[in-house]
Amino acid sequence: MASRAFSTTSAAYAAEVKKLGVIGAGQMGLGIALVAAQKAQVPVSLIDNSQASLDKGLKFADKLLAKDVSKERLTQDAADAARALITPSVKMDDLSSVDFIIEAVPEITELKTSIFSQISQIAPKHAILATNTSSISITKIAAATTTNPTDLQAPSRVISTHFMNPVPIQKGVEIIAGLQTSQETIDTAITFVQRMGKIASVSADSPGFLANRILMPYINEAVICLETGVGGREDIDNIMKNGTNVPMGPLTLADFIGLDTCLAIMNVLHQETGDSKYRPSGLLKRMVDAGWMGKKTGKGFYNY
């Protein structure tokens, strides 16, 4: 099937976003909320089902803002203003007055489709329903919104705004439209991420999209090289850093992303394409089984 063609420069049908909702107060969701408050200067409802997660996320936001102030990248007044725009809540119903929602929960298809089924019945009928998924079909997620018989246009407002990690630093955002996504939704998403100071790249709704379709096989091949003795971990990382000018080698990058996340995305690529070139490394699987997920658990290819 040919991919849908749309431009990153078109904003002919973009709607104004006056209030944002973010679902998930983890590293990605918190980063999205903070950048939206700081750069786009919009009020943000930050939703999570755990008060502890909200408290942890906002503590991290305070730390990031304080660091920017100390390095004179931000004034204290600007930091206070950005922080004041973020309102935490454990109630999904607080999304009933937003113009744009970005879901940023773990890469579990059933979890995401359940959330989209729910928010399609809570959000205003004009609100854009975006996911931060890095691998799950947007068309499939959009189909979950058909459970609301009073809003038959909900699937047309579903899109992916896949932010790169860490959100406050990385400029790139993948924009992925499902088969149901309208041009107005596309234009609004592109315009809004640009307000956040990001650079949009568009991708077809294909397994892995652009970033992970390229990145994850690269990381997986590096793990295979380690597993089969082609090179040691430092040699693998150093040749890529010093030979291709990337800021970190593939094994270090995998540790920062999370080995469980890398494995999950490789599994999606393998299952949805049926192509053996996407088969996950055996070593990657065993490390995840051992609980060695990378930096977040203190041990991966390196110790932290």
163-180: per-residue pLDDT in tens? 998 999 999 999 999 999
Burial of 110 by CB count in 10 Å (0-12 exposed, 13-18 middle, 19+ buried)?
exposed
Report whether 164 belongs to an annotated binding site. Answer: no
Indicate if 134 belongs to the active site.
yes
pLDDT in tens, 51-73: 999 999 999 999 999 999 999 99
Question: 20-204 with 211-297: one CATH topology?
Answer: no
Please state the rounded mean pLDDT for residues 215-238: 98
pLDDT of 9 higher than 60: no
Say which of 53, 137, 160, 212 is annotated catalytic.
Answer: 212
Distance of CA 156 to the CA centre of its chain: 20
Percentages of the chain per state (helix, strand, coil), in multiples of 5:
50, 15, 35
Say which of 148, 174, 203, 220 is annotated catalytic.
Answer: 174
More confident residue, 5 or 265: 265
Indicate if 110 belongs to the active site.
no
Closest CA to 35 of 9, 69, 61: 61
Report whether 267 belongs to an annotated binding site. Answer: no
Report whether 26 belongs to an annotated binding site. Answer: yes
What is the C-alpha to C-alpha distance for residues 213 and 45, in angstroms, rounded to an integer? 32
> Would the pTM count as exceeding 0.95?
no
Tokens matching residue 294: 């990378």
Which fold does the domain 20-204 belong to in CATH? Rossmann fold (3.40.50)
Please state the rounded mean pLDDT for residues 259-270: 92
Query: Residue 92 in contact with residue 118, Cβ under 8 Å?
Result: yes
More confident residue, 227 or 261: 227
27 three-state secondary structure:
helix
Report whether 184 belongs to an annotated binding site. Answer: no
Phi-psi sector, 294: left (phi>0), alpha (psi -120 to 50), beta? left
pLDDT class of 12 with cuts at 50, 70, 90: low
Q: Indicate the average pLDDT of the chain.
A: 94
Q: Give residue limits of the domains in the chain.
A: 20-204, 211-297
pLDDT in tens, 125-144: 999 999 999 889 999 999 99
What is the C-alpha to C-alpha distance for residues 139 and 131, in angstroms, rounded to an integer? 11
Burial of 249 by CB count in 10 Å (0-12 exposed, 13-18 middle, 19+ buried)?
buried
What is the C-alpha to C-alpha distance for residues 17 and 24, in angstroms, rounded to an integer? 20
Indicate if 184 belongs to the active site.
no
pLDDT of 105 higher than 50: yes
CATH class of 211-297: mainly alpha
Indicate if 272 belongs to the active site.
no
